[in-house]
Each structure stands twice: as C-alpha cells, then as structure tokens.
Structure 1
Amino acid sequence: MKLIHFDSTGGASGDMILGSLISLGADIAILKKHISAMLPHEEFDIELTKTVRNGISGIVTDVKIGHSHSHGRSFSDIKKMIETSALPAETKEMSIHVFRLLAEAEAKIHGSTPEKIHFHEVGAVDSIIDIIGSCLAFELLGAEAITFSPLPLGHGGTIKCQHGIYPLPAPATVELLKGVPVYQVDEPFETVTPTGAALLTGLPCGKKAADGKIISSSYSFGHRELNTRPNLLRATVFETDASPEAEHDSCIVLETNIDDISPEIIGALYGKLLDAGALDVFTIPVQMKKQRPGFLLTVLCHEDRKKTLQEIIFRESSTFGIREKTVSRRILARRYEDIETPFGKIKIKIGSMENEDITFSPEMEDCMKLSEKSGKPLKEVYESAILSFKNKSANS
C-alpha cells in the first residue's frame, strides 16, 4: 500500500499540504479542471514557486483569486456543491468529511450546530481550493492513508478572525487537534491553521508511521519567516507491504430498537447518519414488547464519529437509549483504476488480499453519469465496465 507521511517542522496549512501533494506528482491540470467546474464564476490559479530556505530547496504555493463572488458559505452550501460536482466519489467523501470536521469544531465553539454554521475564512474560495484540491490530489496519487508527526503550535500571539481577535492557536484549531500529539514552539504566529488541522485529521489516517520503501518526497514552505525554524512541511511517500495489521480494523456498533416512528422519518435518518460519517446504516425487523412489530437500527462508525452519530439518533428518532460495542473487522486493501469503456471512463475499485486481487466493483456514480449521458440502460453501462476490466486484466 502507498502511504504519505507529513513531517511538520514549522507548521501545516491548507496551501502547504496542497503544494506538497502536487510536488509529489498529483496532476495540477486535473485539479484545476475539477475546481473550475465547481466554481464556474470564480477566477483562480494555483501557482508553485521554487525557493530555497535554510539551505533546503522546496516550493511555495499561492492560490491566486480574482474578484470573488462569494465571501462566505454555509456547510450545507459547500456540501451540496461537492455532491453535485463531477469529482470522484472518494474525493467527494473525503472533502465533505473535512468540511464536516470544521463545521463541528466551529459549532462547538459558538454553541451552535454544524448545519447552522456559516464559514467565513474557511468558506472563502482559496480555502475551498485548498481542501478539495488536497483531497483530489491524495486520490490522484493513489495513496491509501496518511500519517503525521506531532504538530508545532505557535503561542504568545493573536489572530484576527471574523468574530474578533483570538489567542493562538485559533479556537477551531484547538478543537480539531484534541487528542492529537502537539508541542508548543516559541513563535507568535499561526503555525497550524484550521484548514491544515482539518486536512491532517480528516484524510484517511494510518495507525503509525510507515515502515517500507521511500518512493518520493517533497518540501513545501509556508508564507512566514519564523524565528526559530523554517515554515516547512515535508511529505514522504512510502510503499509498504500489505500486513495483517493493515487488513484488520475496529469500529463501533450502535444499536437501538424502535417501534413508534414513521418509516419516512427513518429514511431521512439514514441519510443524516451517512452524511455525518457513518460507515454503514441498516435496519432489521424485530418483534418487540407487547407483540408490537418494530426494527433494530444498527449504525457502524469509527470512534471519532460515535458521539456525533449518537446525538443524531437521539434528536431524530424516538429512542431513549443506544447500545454500543466495539467489534473487529477484516477489510481488503483497496485501490482504484480508471478503465476505458465504449461509454467513457469508469473508475474501478479493486480489493486485494496478500497481494492478490480477489474482487472488484465499478463505481456506481460513474456508471450512472455515463448512462444518463449516453441514454443507455444503467445495467448495460455497468456490465460494460465489468467486461472492459476483465479484458484489461486478462491482457496485462
């Protein structure tokens, strides 16, 4: 598997992460194409400039914005914009997850809910480009996870935000980095931004730093001249052997029995739970007290999503209690390949075990778009993708 490790000597911001991934080989033309389609009324450019600081050669990334037609967006606005875009399915999921983390952090700080949060700095065009561009670049590189070193936090200074002047680190950064190893540095500057914190905690995370072969590396500088260290983020790509640890995972199972709520409400609850980061949601018919028919609602999630999902279940259903347990699961190593079909390009998800490909599946969203574009039945497009992939595999 391919893993990217970030060494944060002098901080982490959205543009530093984006630049490091582009320097590792993510195609900037593809990034610009997708972002332009999402922001058709915005003029922008992504510029990488080579530089040398403290004897190290690297790049500085500038997201150039023309006249912006929007100075802030709500989480719901951004989520809808991503969902209706032509981004790959995995990039959509990662991008929404990163923005959701930011919305939850802001909501907790301001005593609100994620749905009511209106982004200002993060809703600006350059931050949207940083986040969506980084998630897409991560997928283009074929990486499966990231790890990162303890993060250096500047202190003793202040930062001006939409709601006033705050001490460093910014409140949203502190909220996002709860449980993350950090250390304070003698720098009165914002070394780790909320966008940087959200990307590092929101992209798929490995359990530990990689052991394996170093494939490539990049050095990405920020825009500040710090007092004690370079404003530097290094990204290193490791190729690791598939190991039993990589194929095993643990997750939380949330369960509750319900017999007094409309199926229409449960349908809406499904969507909200999945949008909030649930791995899976399903119901099973059960017989409950007093011979009443009901159902068992089951939600699978990672530990960091548990509290949010429990709150949604309590608010949106009629239950008075939720059971929870931790279970282990075995998962296949996954990668994605694009396959050419008579209808166009379709992404294929491939599952492997012990370095052997044992299953695959066409991305349904790609098939649906090509079905609509060509006027052909979805089944025909889907089967074409399967046949094209099998032919390619047989000839390789």
Structure 2
Amino acid sequence: MTQHLNRRGFLRGGLALGCSAAAFPLISHATFAAAPFDHRLIVVILRGAMDGLDVIRPVGDRNFRQLRPELGQGEGPALDNFWQLHPGLSGLMPLWQAGELGFVQAVSTPYRDQRSHFDGQDMLEAGTAMDSPPEFRRDGWMNRLLAGLPGARSETAFAVGREALPILSGPAPAQRWAPETEMRVSPQARRLLEQLYEADPPFHSAAGTALELTEMLNDLEPMDPAGESEAMMAPPPMMGLPEPEKANAEVSAFAAFAAARLREDTRIVALSLAGWDTHAGQDNAIRRPLARLEQLILELKAGLGPVWNKTAFIAMTEFGRTVRQNGTKGTDHGTGGAMITAGGAIRGGRVLGQWPGLGDSDLYAGRDLTPTGDVRAVAAWVIHGLMGIDKGALQNGVFPGLDMGTNPGIV
C-alpha cells in the first residue's frame, strides 16, 4: 500500500521518526531570549496563588497566630525579630545570610475582588491594570519588554509541563521545548523533514528549531558548583515516574538547561511552577511546591556558577490568600500576597514592602491582606536596575499605566 505523507500526516505520525508534535514550538511554559546587556533575569509565575503569609510569616504581628491557630505552626528560621521563613525553604537561608535572597510583602496586581485564577493570572502576565487598553491586554509584559530591547533576539525555549505562558505572547518571537520530548532523528529523516517543509516557511523554521535544540542539548556543558565544566547528563526519563519524582526531574532538567544557556547568550528566562492552591490541609499541601521552588533556586545557583552574581530571580503569584484559615485548615483566594527575589544581582537579606497590619480594620474587604504595593513596580525596578531601561518606557510600554513610585533598591 502506498502511503502519502503531507504536513498533517507527519504531525499525526511524528513518532515514526522518533519525535512528536510536542517538540515543535507551539506551546510555551518557559522561554529564553538573548539581549544586549550582561545581566540575567529569571521570572517565575507561581500558579495557584501562593500564600505569602505562610511562606514569609509575620510572627511579630500579634494578630497572626490568632487568625491561624492551626495553620503554619511549624517553626521556621527567623529572618529577623518580625519575620519567619517557612521551614520548607530553610535550605535557602545561606542565600539570605549572603544577601542573595529577599522578599516583598503586601503586594498584588491591580486585580480586585473576583478572585479567579484565570483572570488573575491573565492580568499578572499581561502586566496591565483593570482599565488598560485592549491592545495591551493581548500581549504579555515580557514580550513587550523583548520587543523594546534594541538588538534583542529570541533564541531558545522549552516547556516544563504543557501550560502556555501568556507573559510571552505577542509579536516578539519566542521558541519552546519540552524537556521530556526526545528527538532521535536519523540523517535521512532530517533530510526528509527539511524537504517536506521547504515550501512552508513557518513549519520549516519550526522543524529546524526543534532539530537545532536537540543538537544543542547534546553539546551543553553545565558548570558544577566548583565552577568547572563537566559533561551534561541527559535529563532523567520522566515517563512512568510517580508525580512527585516526575516534578523533581522536570525542575532538574529545566535548571540544567537554563543554567547552560544563561551562561552563554541567553539573558531572559520565564517559567511557571504550579501547585499553590491550598484550600485544604495547607500545612502538607504547600510543602511540595515549596520544595520545587527551593530546588529550582539552588540548582540554578549551582549551575550558573559565576553568572549567578549577574542574575536577578523574581517569583510572583496571581494574588494572595485569605488571612484567616478556613474550616479545612487551608486558605481561600485573597488579595495581597508576597514576592520572592534571589540572585547575586539583588540586594537581599531584607523583607521589603509597607506592612498594613492584620487587625480587623486593616484587612481588605474584611478578609484579605491589604496590598500596599504593586508586583509590576517590583518587576519594573528590577528591570530598570538590570538593564537601565528608562522609567517612562517601563511605565508606558511594558507596564501601561503603572506608577513605579520610589525605588526600593532591590537591585
């Protein structure tokens, strides 16, 4: 029987050539881009609404324990006489002591009252206000940042999982890759692939990118903690692993690849970590995402070697969680939350932000931590410090309608 092969047939039957449609840059969860400056920026979206009051605990506020009598009782390391770190991040304390870890409390996007994960994440990644023009709401703020950098070019990317990253959507090109995808293509199959897509420039470019990424992975030489180059081990096989082990393997694969690229031409990275929606049994539920976040930061630091000193890492979430614990020893969707910063380029060892208090009259809508700062302003000041981008461009082009306020000196 004669088999006719066209583009659709190839995408449906890609496994016959040892690759899958997932290898093509159609879905993004993390993106890398080269840029004309020497510092590195890593942005992590913490999907599900991280409870900032549990991660960076205001134990010095006399109302805190009364509002959460059965939640967050495990003692964590003291950051100072007011703040306590969740014990699940205790492995980051050497960074705090070295001034390479910091936090910002009582921040949020302009999103208010509806408390929808989808809408909150859309606004977080678009970098807009409630009344921003529609043309800004269609693009992600990181894509607008890339589009405005003279000489910046999209380089390489991959997805950890299958989710999209709206923070990167827009006219600036972005390429994607999933770490569990294997591209084992023979020379003959590669020639067939190139001929198949010759007359279709978008597909020809996508296929070429997927093959180049495969070759690049074989050539990567990450840095070990001692600063010496060593051959990269292949990402651990993920199919068939239990979910916790699979999640850890994904984080390790991403950190190794990201560090290798950031040591070269890549300057900007975005990704997301899920699992922060802790409506019930929060004491146990929050430990897994905290472990992944700690793992990511520590493996990035180890893999980056000296480049860590030029790196700023910021983690942000769509909104915070309720101040009071609920009946299932969890927390519900709230407003004010926290951000995490790390890297040798930041001025850490501090908890920034204006603390609003936890008294009844201090709470937003009688239930939430009142936001006193904007997550967009934090990101904008980091970008300003790293890249020297003009405040006007950040407030009008990257984060439309933002008032950056006073420089908090994060970088």
TM range (shorter): under 0.3
Structure richer in strand, relative to its length: 1
Q: What TM-score do the two structures reach when normalised by structure 2?
A: 0.25
Point out which structure has higher relative CO (alpha carbons under 8 A, 6+ apart).
2
Q: What TM-score do the two structures reach when normalised by structure 1?
A: 0.26
